[in-house]
Homo-oligomer: A and B are copies of this chain.
Amino acid sequence: MHRRDVLKGALAATVAGGALAAPAIARAQTKVRWRMPSSFPQVLDTVYGAGAFIAERVATMTDGQFEITPYAAGEIVPPLGILDGVQAGTVECGITAGFYYLGKMPALVFDTGVPFGMTPRQHMAWMQYGGGNDLMAGLYDQFNAVQFPCGNTGAQMGGWFRKPIESVDDLKGLRIRAAGYLGQIYAALGAVPQQIPGSDLYSALERGTLDAVEFVGPYDDEKLGFQKVAKYYYGPGVLELGASLCFLANSQAYAALPATFQQILKSACSESYTDMLAKYDQRNIGALRRLVASGVQLKSWTPEIMTAMQTATARLLADQAATDETFGRVHTAWKAFLDEQLLWGSVNDFAAESFIVANRGR
- Given the interface pairs A121-B120, A273-B274, A356-B238, the reply to whether A24 lies near B349 with Cβ below 8 Å is no
A 248-262 contacts with B by CB, 8 A: 258-260
Segment at the interface with B among A33-41, A167-175, A339-347: A339-347
In the complex, A277 has a CB within 8 A of chain B = yes
A307 with B241: CB separation less than 8 A: no
A342 with B354: CB separation less than 8 A: no
A260 CB contact (under 8 Å) in B62, B236, B238, B277:
B62
Segment at the interface with B among A4-12, A102-110, A281-289: A281-289
A241 CB contact (under 8 Å) in B278, B345, B349, B362:
B349
Q: Which residues of B contact A52 (CB under 8 A)?
A: none
The chain B residue with its CB closest to the CB of A264 is B61
Q: Once bound together, how far apart are the Cα atoms of A128 and B273, in whole Å?
A: 13
Interface residues on A, range: 35 or more
Q: Once bound together, how far apart are the Cα atoms of A29 and B27, in whole Å?
A: 12
A275 with B24: CB separation less than 8 A: no
The chain B residue with its CB closest to the CB of A260 is B63
B362 with A310: CB separation less than 8 A: yes
A 315-362 contacts with B by CB, 8 A: 339-357, 359-362
A81 to chain B, nearest CB (A): 29
Q: Once bound together, how far apart are the Cα atoms of A307 and B157, in whole Å?
A: 31
Q: Which residues of B contact A310 (CB under 8 A)?
A: 355, 359, 362
Q: Once bound together, how far apart are the Cα atoms of A2 and B282, in whole Å?
A: 40
A121 CB contact (under 8 Å) in B277, B357, B360:
B277
The A interface, classified by DSSP as helix, strand, loop or mixed, is helix
Q: Which residues of B contact A348 (CB under 8 A)?
A: 154-155, 157, 217, 235-237, 284
In the complex, A196 has a CB within 8 A of chain B = no
B125 with A281: CB separation less than 8 A: yes
Q: Which residues of B contact A125 (CB under 8 A)?
A: 277-278, 281-282
In the complex, A271 has a CB within 8 A of chain B = yes
The chain B residue with its CB closest to the CB of A292 is B347
A 283-310 contacts with B by CB, 8 A: 283-286, 288, 298, 300, 303, 306-307, 310
A 1-45 contacts with B by CB, 8 A: 22, 24-25, 27-29
For the complex of A and B, the 3 pairs showing the least CB-CB separation, nearest first, are: A236-B351, A129-B282, A236-B352
Known: A22-B29, A154-B348. 8 other contacts (CB 8 A): A61-B61, A119-B353, A121-B278, A128-B278, A241-B353, A266-B271, A267-B270, A270-B270
